[in-house]
Amino acid sequence: MENTSIEKPFVVGVDIGGTNTVFGIVDARGNIISSAAIKTKCCETIEEYVDKLCDNLLPLIIAQGGVDKIKGIGIGAPNGNYYKGTIEFAPNLPWKGIIPLAALIEDKLSIPTVLTNDANAAAVGEMTYGVARGMKDFIMITLGTGVGSGIVINGQMVYGHDGFAGELGHVIVRRDNGRICGCGRKGCLEAYCSATGLARTAREVLASSTEPSLLRDLDVENITSKDVYDAAVQGDVIAKDIFEKTGTLLGEALADAIAFSSPEAIVLFGGLAKSGKYIIEPIQKAIDANILKIFKGKTRLLVSELKDSDAAVLGASALAWELKDME
């Protein structure tokens, strides 16, 4: 195995998000040697998307000595099935049904390919290189286009019997008159606490009040979570209230998650997690107000140390190193 790793010193990590697909070449020490990105919704068909992804990835591979230097490709994707290498019925992706993505990429590049849920990949990356180093029990929450989760118990990623365990973003948090979620159900956490959910809350709050806000100077229909953050930093009361509502709901849901697995930490990852005190303080307050007494003060709330998509790319790439045990 040692000779193999010398001959094939690199792996590829691919993170497929609802907006962007980021990929990179990673060495055995976890350094991302080079990376690039394409728009996830760049193409109408999955075949066209795979062609574009491979066309953009291949130059990075060639720059490191070619396909023969790559041990494997690891992919993190929404609704990714680790056991089958498929993406199945992902609500935030343009391709419907069951997509055999690992096989399609393996056929195109002749490199062994493995796939898992994007939040699981981020959790592996955090456990290997980030704030969860050395932890055996933690929950990763990804706050992006959707809300994802990766649950680690006793040092093992929880996949469940079918490969799909760990969908805390689709726990129902509003039973009555809940928002329609991308998954088709009503009241899911994702519909409220993702970046898109927060923007939706912003539109609702602005429509139901006449209070002055910097957000009213923007095109309301196209407000983003970043716009709300920028306004909050400038002291905007409405923007702060939007974060308060979002963080409170998320904190209530996390109090329930803590009751399930008693994690050492909950690690927040993604653009929304970078909103600092505006999101962290209401989350912590809601956890403290709703948690069972036996768990009080035991679970730390942390923000990922890994910048941008590094956690997911590194986590996905870590899956590829494991392929040497499968050959």
Query: Does 195 lie in the same domain as 75?
Result: no
Asked whether residue 141 falls in the same domain as residue 11, the answer is: no
* 48 pLDDT higher than 60: yes
Answer yes or no: do 282 and 174 share one domain: yes
Residue 220's SS3 state is helix
Question: Residue 59 and residue 1: Cα distance in Å, rounded?
Answer: 27
pLDDT above 70 for 6? no
Range list of β-strands (E), the chain: 10-16, 20-27, 32-39, 70-77, 80-81, 86-88, 98-99, 113-117, 138-143, 147-153, 156-157, 265-269, 300-303
Residue 129 covered by a domain: no
Question: Is 53 in contact with 65 (CB distance < 8 Å)?
Answer: no
Same domain, 148 and 293: yes
Is the pLDDT at 184 greater than 50? The verdict is: yes
Tens digits of residue pLDDT in 76-99 = 998 899 999 999 988 778 998 999
Residues 246 and 188 in one domain: yes
Report the chain's mean pLDDT, rounded to a whole number: 92
User: Residue 311's closest CA among 64, 43, 74?
Assistant: 74
Q: What CA–CA distance (Å, rounded) separates 218 from 226? A: 12
Nearest CA to 118 out of 76, 156, 58, 87 is that of 76
**Which region among 18-22, 59-63, 189-193 has the lowest average model confidence (pLDDT)?**
18-22
Residue 151 lies in a domain: yes
Q: Are residues 318 and 188 in the same domain?
A: no
pLDDT of residue 303: 96
Identify whether residues 98 and 162 lie together within a single domain.
Answer: no
Per-residue pLDDT at 75: 97
User: Among the listed ranges 49-53, 59-63, 71-75, 141-145, which one has the minimum average pLDDT value?
Assistant: 141-145
What is the spatial distance between Cα 275 and Cα 297, in angstroms, rounded to a whole number?
23
Q: Are residues 98 and 188 in the same domain?
A: no
Counted domains in the chain = 2
What pLDDT, on a 0 to 100 scale, did the predictor assign at position 182?
87
pLDDT digits (tens, 9 = 90+) for 219-278: 999 999 999 999 999 999 999 999 999 999 999 999 999 999 999 999 999 889 999 999
Confidence of residue 324 (pLDDT cuts 50, 70, 90): low
User: Is the pLDDT score of 326 beyond 50?
Assistant: no
Domain assignment of residue 274, yes or no: yes
- Answer whether residue 128 is part of any domain: no
Q: Are residues 93 and 162 in the same domain?
A: no
pLDDT at 183: 86
Of all residues in the chain, the percent with pLDDT exceeding 90 is: 80
CATH number of the domain within which 195 lies: 3.30.420.40
Measured from the Cβ of residue 294, the count of other Cβ atoms closer than 10 Å reads 8
Decide if 76 is inside a domain. Answer: yes
pLDDT digits (tens, 9 = 90+) for 186-220: 999 999 999 999 999 999 999 999 999 999 999 99
Are residues 275 and 162 part of one domain?
A: yes
Q: Is residue 130 assigned to a domain?
A: no
Residue 287 lies in a domain: yes
pLDDT band at 116 (very low <50, low <70, confident <90, very high): very high
Contact 249, 193 (CB under 8 A): yes
Confidence of residue 3 (pLDDT cuts 50, 70, 90): very low
Decide: 173 and 249 in contact? Cβ < 8 Å.
Answer: yes
Helix or strand (DSSP H, E) at 310: helix 310-321
Identify which of 325, 291, 323, 312 has the alpha carbon closest to the alpha carbon of residue 129. 312
Give the length of the chain. Answer: 327
Burial 136-147 (b: 16+ CB within 10 A, else e): ebbbbbbbbbbb
pLDDT tens digits, one per residue of 120-133? 998 988 988 889 99
| Virtual torsion, Cα 224, 227, 232, 235, nearest 10 deg | -150
pTM: 0.86
**Whether residues 185 and 298 fall in one domain:** yes
Q: Which of 261, 292, 14 is nearest to 149 (CA)?
A: 261
Residue 327 pLDDT greater than 50, yes or no: no
First vs last Cα of the chain: how many Å apart? 10
Residues 298 and 314 reside in one and the same domain: no
Domain that residue 54 falls in: 2-123+309-325
Find the radius of gyration of the CA atoms of the chain.
Answer: 20
